[in-house]
Amino acid sequence: MKKLSILLSTALFCCLFIFSGCEQQGQQKSAPAEKKDIYLQLYSLRDDIKADFAATIDSVAKMGYTGIEAAGYNDGLFYGMSPADFKKAIEDAGLEVLSSHAGRPLAEPASDTNWEETWAWWDTAIQAHKDAGMKYLVVAWIPAPKTLADLQAYCDYFNQIGEKCNAAGLRFGYHNHNFEYKEVEGELMYDYMLKNTDPAKVFFQMDVYWTVMGQKAPVDYFNEYPGRFEILHIKDSKELGQSGMVGFDAIYNNVDKAGAKYMVVEVERYSGTPFNGVRESIDYLNNADFVKASYNK
């Protein structure tokens, strides 16, 4: 009986040991990878948003995106909603409200600008962005300046907007396309803007795809103008990694030099549906070893 008792005890110990080991292995296998902070420019799903805003935002959250950048501001409203309602809709879906594209161009010529109306417009826009919980307000585009005087007028204009945004607790930035990499009276437009705007008032949201389309290397700009690029637009010809033209590994490996704190995916064109393109893009970044979990820590 004593031998039988010892044998039973040994067998029970072995079973418990094996069960415990299996449980630990199961936990190790099922442990989720660290979630990456990846934001989405909602222009990527512009048609879906028009059809069903709530369902689209819910899908963005389920894909694993951290938050959004809006592209639907107009007259104090975001996608037809008050700033408070927009903020609630985004946060109820489990997403963060990061930034928004909005802007009011100068008159042509700039000297014809109605400054009273212009600053009233900006006062409304800045307050709306603040009420919506935005960290950043970004001008997405300006008409291509024909002269350096026109370009300098925009630099001065941006410095003033940036000062107003700073006072409201926001950061103000400019998003490029590829025409900024052309010369205006012998000066490269993008470089001129970087040199003639105040870093304390104006940051640059580099769209890395459009920079490459302008035949320039994003990393060269990070090195020449360190710290000026607080947000990067991570974009490709279609889905991320689809074209092979954009060196995302080099871009991400030089984020510290750029000064980038947030990465915002934008998908303008698609191989399939917009939803598939947006999903494939976040999958690409989540599976990329060169992408860290966060750049704002």
* Average model confidence (pLDDT) across the chain: 91
What are the tens digits of pLDDT across the range 37-73?
A: 999 999 999 999 999 999 999 999 999 999 999 999 9
Query: Which H helix or E strand runs over 159?
Result: helix 148-167
Query: Which H helix or E strand runs over 227?
Result: none
**With bands split at pLDDT 50, 70 and 90, how would you rate the model's confidence at 34?**
confident
Q: CA–CA separation, 17 vs 63, rounded Å?
A: 38
Give the CATH number of domain 36-286; options: 3.20.20.150, 3.40.50.720, 2.30.40.10, 3.30.9.60: 3.20.20.150
Contact status, residue 290 vs residue 125, Cβ threshold 8 Å: no
Q: Is 271 helix (H, G, I), strand (E, B) or coil?
A: coil
Q: CA–CA separation, 133 vs 106, rounded Å?
A: 27
Mean pLDDT of 93-121: 97
Residue boundaries of the structural domains of the chain: 1-31, 36-286
Residue 6, classified by CB atoms within 10 Å of its CB into exposed (0-12), middle (13-18) or buried (19+), is: exposed
Name every residue whose Cβ is closer than 8 Å to that of residue 29 and which is 6 or more positions away in sequence: none
Mean pLDDT of 281-296: 97
- Please name which of 132, 115, 142 lies closest in space to residue 73, comparing C-alpha atoms: 132
